Amino acid sequence: MTRTARFTLDPAFTIGDVSPRLFGSFVEHLGRCVYDGIHEPGHPAADEAGLRTDVLELIRELGVTAIRYPGGNFVSGYRWEDGVGPVDERPRRLDLAWRSTETNRFGLSEYIAFLKKVGPQAEPMMAVNLGTRGVREAIELQEYANHPAGTELSDRRIAHGDKDPFGIGLWCLGNEMDGPWQTGHKTAEEYGRLAAETARAMRQIDPSVELVACGSSSRSMPTFAAWEATVLAETYDLVDYVSLHAYYEELDGDRDSFLASAVDMESFIESVVATCDHIGARLKSSRRINLSFDEWNVWYMSRSQKATEDNPLDWPEAPRLLEDNYTVTDAVVLGTLLIALLRHADRVTVACLAQLVNVIAPIMTEPGGPAWKQTTFFPFAQAAQHGRGRVLDVRVDSPTYRTAKYGETDLLHATAVRDPETGAVTVFAVNRSQDEELPLEVALHGFDLAKIAEHRVLADSDPDARNTLTEPDRVTPHQAQDTTLDGAVLRATLEPMSWNMIRLT
């Protein structure tokens, strides 16, 4: 018989407050994320600006906040001027990052208008090109976007039809500049100096801007940690965040290790925090650098790399790239990654699910046809809606299982968030066992909780079940049975390989 997993919750023991930006996303000019994704003039559901209203509705339901743009690898070859002004006068360019042709029909103004239609929770997070460009181009973009009026660049924005400044406050200083694949790749010393110079100049325009320095593009990079240390030695008192990127996939049929991917993510976060704090101590700085986990997801990178290599250099417009079709297993893993981010909410205060539509995304579309939710849509939407407030300290006592990559690992991965206004508590929990239920007991100390509002589960008898164009509702969450609140003890049974949201009010 499977041993019961347990943990205790107490409002006095917390991790930190959840930043709304933890539920951010990412729109890059890659494949069909922009074109035929959020922007498809002529579609039956398109509005006057060419934005698909069916996609906008799903984005609102998903609950994303800060949306990073325009890349990604794309930004390191991007000229922001190409994406402003009259659309029919914008140049077509080769995009070296994704071997495509960029039409620039969608640019800065369209991005800001898109955010406004998503809703007030959608905040711009703009990346500047520090691959093939530098300080001058960054501050010119900042002036065009944010200065009210009275200069050539701000007046150019007004002449282009945008009287009000865009008010972009969160900026990425380049993208994955440690990667040899990056156009304009730099050493840590080269990038650290350029990022510091750019940060100083941007703060001369507006001291209140929030800036993200590039961390390692992966924990597996040979320069990991040394890169962060070198970059932060140059930028520590000039930036607010250092970035992290991580993607996970099931390799060689090792599903047990795949289900434990969050073990790696949590270790990655803790290593970067240690590096940040070491540099801060060495510099005797009173500032604290937080983390921007601005690319994370399940991504079958080994498949997509082969597809990209096989793609002839015919420079197509908006090709079908990186369109992973996610399974129930993938959704459960994505749920554990969300739990990992919440468990480190004291330092991870920005995070962006990469990406938003079509490209390794929770939302899929068909040109001229419907839009639908992937399996991964549901854990993210539930966490974005109910994972707001203060994260409670969860230390599980769980049965374990053995994994090839991470050794002995807890079957239970969990966190909990308390709404300080209502007192409601939401438990997010994953059972990593592929074939056995997991009994769960949660001791509740110091709470005034009367009932279980809901216990929603994402699981399926077929772990490879997925939502598709022909079966868009094959996988949806369902209500659990027999979950009880007996005095100060919550009891539930977690289905095999399942994502669970339990709301207590």
Active site residues: 176, 295
Cβ-based neighbours of 220, under 8 Å, separated by 6 or more: none
Backbone angles phi, psi at 258, to 5 degrees: -60, -45
Q: Contact 179/224 with Cβ under 8 angstroms?
A: no
Taking CB atoms within 8 Å and a gap of at least 24, the contacts of 277-286 are 278/229, 279/228, 279/229, 279/232, 279/233, 279/236, 280/236, 282/233, 283/233, 283/236, 283/237, 285/236, 285/237
Cβ-proximal residues to 365 (8 Å cutoff; 6+ apart), any chain: 32, 36, 37, 40, 52, 55, 357, 358, 371, 372
51 alpha-carbon distance from chain centroid: 22
Q: Which amino acid is at 115?
A: L
Beta bridge partners of 170: 125, 210
- Retrieve residue 86's tokens: 């009259």
Distance, CA of 80 to CA of 70 (rounded, Å): 9
- Cα–Cα nearest to 79, from 24, 140, 25: 140
DSSP-derived secondary structure for 354-380: E-SBSSS-SEEE-TTS-EEE-TTHHHH
The residue assigned the tokens 């500032």 is 287
Helix axes 377-386, 53-62, angle to 10 degrees: 60
**Looking up tokens 């494949």, which residue turns up?**
31
Q: Is 482 left (phi over 0), alpha (psi -120 to 50) or beta?
A: left
Place of tokens 């990038």: 191
